[in-house]
Structure 1
């Protein structure tokens, strides 16, 4: 896929599109001229986002961690030329010391955050390869690249997504398919507010104090916004030579 605009006129599938980053990415892609397929577990949320987007957006309910549901999704969308796949679906998991994390909790985080990416790529890459081009963006996190106390399942899963992305880019590059990671964080919103509240309860400070301490680590002492993440996804798609890359969008939380 080449040319001055690598987004307009294409069909993009976004997972976890019912709220948060998935919703923001869907909005950004739609504004850039892509037709968006919204995928997630809760149909009502997807339909609400579709109403916001208008046009010919499409919704499909699917738990991307479940092989049978992903196979069904691929069959349902067999009439679509999905050339952009954004694997955004993910869960935060428990906020506890590793020794207090139950195996079932660990497995759930990896099922959604890693297996879901694998299953979606496995389902939709063959058509991209056959067409000779496509783009995959896997949403990871800066939390996969720095210590984050009491969040080992989440951070380990996001590091796994980075490894998957880099290797997959080399597997499919010869077919014209680009595979990249977008690593946001911290992103202002309900999830971070929850984290600050839990940290405040644990340490005896206020939520505002916990937030200030956290963002003070960044070059820009603030969190990024969902809209900035959406804009970054579109910008990545417009870079025709970008593959096997990991783009940090963290207000300078990570410096390398």
Structure 2
């Protein structure tokens, strides 16, 4: 990574986002954690600073254009530049048949998962263009490539992230700005466990049955670790990925192979 560089990671307070923050810091970037959970952001800050890199916390609602604009303005005032942007903030949305999903649930899921990355990119890109350098990584999902019954808002948002990534990469590629998407499979942790619990309630299965069914879908027969995802993000921000752009790369233990 570039020396004295700055990375913004949305949703960096926990889970995959926290691991991404630490990975980018290990590679030499100062990290700005943009999230709404001030308590858990403090833990991320401590972990990043253990690497010797600077870490700042900014309360950010990616669904709010005003909040996003203020965050980017603050980062530029404080650091002077933004070389790396990781759009990780996201929500699971409802687990229910389409006809039982409310308009509010639909709009909230797309506002965070799809409008959020768009708004972050819209604010950051003018500064990346001015510097003729930038690396943007959008965290999508393998659900952006295949159906996931009873999760229509989430699936739609992640399919949108992949389309947004490809199109934006084509727009800015000649300006030395790479845009890629990482598509995790089922990442072990509290969030996926809550999803399994809701799916179990919806289908009448036990939690253990739902989890085992998901694990069997992967070639390796297991879930993904969040560090697997963070490692790929770090690579996509590195010099070794200079000519990789417009890609949607799976980290799914072989659950999805296209």
- Note the alpha carbon deviations across 1:89-123, whole angstroms, 9 max, x for none: 00010000001000111000111011111110000
Residue 41 of structure 1 aligns with which residue? 36
Contact 2:76 2:82 in 1 (8 A): no
- RMSD over aligned CA atoms reads 1.2
Range moving further from structure 2, 192-201 or 147-156: 192-201
Residue 163 of structure 1 aligns with which residue? 163
Matches of 1:160 and 1:202, distance apart in 2: 26
Secondary structure in 2 aligned to 1:244?
Answer: coil
Q: CA deviation at 1:166?
A: 0.3
Matches of 2:253 and 2:156, distance apart in 1: 22
Secondary structure in 1 aligned to 2:76?
Answer: coil
Residue 177 of structure 1 aligns with which residue? 177
**What TM-score does the superposition give when structure 2 sets the normalisation length?**
0.94
Matches of 2:199 and 2:92, distance apart in 1: 15
Contact 2:32 2:56 in 1 (8 A): yes
Q: CA deviation at 1:9?
A: 3.8
Residue 62 of structure 2 aligns with which residue? 64
- Note the alpha carbon deviations across 1:128-147, whole angstroms, 9 max, x for none: 10001110000000011111
Contact 1:28 1:230 in 2 (8 A): yes
Residue 75 of structure 2 aligns with which residue? 77
Residue 246 of structure 2 aligns with which residue? 244
Matches of 1:45 and 1:66, distance apart in 2: 21
Q: CA deviation at 1:203?
A: 3.1
Residue 211 of structure 1 aligns with which residue? 211
- Note the alpha carbon deviations across 1:49-82, whole angstroms, 9 max, x for none: 1012114111111101101111111221222211
Matches of 2:187 and 2:2, distance apart in 1: 24
Secondary structure in 2 aligned to 1:220?
Answer: coil
Task: Name the count of aligned residue pairs.
Answer: 251
Secondary structure in 2 aligned to 1:182?
Answer: strand
Q: CA deviation at 1:13?
A: 0.6
> What are the residue-to-residue correspondences of 1:1-256 with 2, within 5 Å?
6=1, 9-54=4-49, 55-79=53-77, 80=79, 81-238=81-238, 239-256=241-258
Residue segments in structure 2 that go unaligned for 5+ positions in a row = none
Matches of 1:103 and 1:248, distance apart in 2: 30
Q: CA deviation at 1:200?
A: 2.2
Contact 2:138 2:181 in 1 (8 A): yes
Matches of 2:182 and 2:196, distance apart in 1: 23
Matches of 1:47 and 1:14, distance apart in 2: 14
Q: CA deviation at 1:8?
A: 5.4
Contact 2:96 2:202 in 1 (8 A): no
**What TM-score does the superposition give when structure 1 sets the normalisation length?**
0.95
Contact 1:7 1:234 in 2 (8 A): no
Q: CA deviation at 1:48?
A: 2.1
Contact 1:7 1:237 in 2 (8 A): no
Matches of 1:126 and 1:147, distance apart in 2: 35
